[in-house]
Amino acid sequence: MPVRTWRKPLDAEKIKVPKGEVYIIKNRCKGCGFCIEFCPKEVLEESKEINERGIHPPKVRDEDKCALCGFCTAVCPDFAIFTVEKNCDGGC
């Protein structure tokens, strides 16, 4: 249906989509970059810091975008990243 949808929907506040919280186990990271490359919401980016193995682990760029799909957890070969649902009772 070709309609212009420009307004913030009236129920925008009511519709809750789970927000994700990203945990990175830096020293496990070997820097393959899968999580950064394949995150469908482009939540991650390479960090400047250097871990024990001398590589740059990922860091969160925009956690609000995290849809909690968990793909990073699944695609990380090193069990170095995972997400949990953010508790938004106090509002996110």
Partner 1 sequence: MEHPYEKFLRRERIPHIWCEGCGNGIILGCFARALDELKMDLDKVVVVSGIGCIGRVSGYTNTDSYHTTHGRPIAFATGVKLANPELKVVVISGDGDLFAIGGNHFIHAARRNMDLQVICANNFIYGMTGGQHGPTTPIDARTTTTPYGNIEHTFNLVHLAAACGAVYVARWTALHVRRLTESIKKALQKEGFSFIEVVSPCPEIFGRYNKMETSIKMMQWFREVSEVRHFSDPAKADITPQKIVVGEFVDAEKPSYSRLLKEMTAKVQTQAQ
Partner 2 sequence: MTEAKQTDNKPSVSEDVRIGVYVCHCGLNIAGSVDCRDVADFAATLPHVVVSKDYRYTCSDQGQELIKNDIRENKLTRVVVASCTPRLHEPTFRRACEEAGLNKYLFEMANIREHCSWVHLYDREAATEKAKDLVKIAVARAALLEPQKESEVPIIRRALVIGGGVAGIQAALDLGDTGYKVYLVEKEPSIGGRMAQIDKTFPTMDCSICILAPKMSDVGRHPNVELLTNSEVVDVKGYIGNFKVKVLQKPRYVTKDCTACGDCAKVCPVTTPNEFDVGLATRHAIYTPFAQAVPATYVVDRNLCLNKENIIFCDKCIKACERKTIDFDMKPQTLELDVGTIIVATGADVYDPAALVDYGYTKLPNVITSLEFERLINAGGPSGGRLIRPSDMQVPESVAFVQCVGSRSEKGMLYCSNVCCMNTIKDSLLIKEHWPETKIHVFYVDIRAYGKGFEDLYKRARKEGVLFIRGLPAEIVEDKKTRNLWLIGENTLQKEVYKINVGMVILSVGVEPRRDSDVIQRLLTLSKTPDGFFMEAHPKLRPVDAPTGGVFLAGCAESPKDIKDSVTQASAAAARASILMAQGKIRAEAITSRLIEEKCTGCGMCAKVCPYNAIIVNKERKKVELIEAACAGCGTCSAECPFNAIEMRHFTDEQICGQIDAATEQEADKKIVAFCCNWCAYAGADFAGVSRMQYPPNVRIIRTMCSGRVAPKFVEHAFARGAAAVLVAGCHLGDCHYINANYQTQKRIERLWKKMEKLGLNRTRLQLAWINASEGERLASKVKEMQSIVESVTSEEIEKSKKMVERAG
3-state class of 27 per DSSP?
helix
Whichever of 19 and 28 has its CB closer to partner 1, that residue is 28
Whichever of 18 and 52 has its CB closer to partner 2, that residue is 18
Task: Select from partner 2, partner 1, none the partner in contact with residue 37, using the beta carbon and a kind-dependent cut-off of 5 to 8 Å.
Answer: partner 1
Contacts of 87 (CB under 8 A, 6+ apart): none
Task: Select from partner 1, partner 2, none the partner in contact with residue 82, using the beta carbon and a kind-dependent cut-off of 5 to 8 Å.
Answer: partner 1
- Give the binding site for partner 2 (CB under 8 A): 1-7, 9-12, 15, 17-18, 38, 40-41, 67-71
Q: Which amino acid is at 34?
A: F
CA pseudo-torsion sign 10, 13, 15, 17: positive
Distance CA 50, CA 6 (A): 44
Token couple for 53: 């193995």
- Give the binding site for partner 1 (CB under 8 A): 23, 25, 27-28, 30-34, 37-38, 55, 71, 73-79, 82, 84
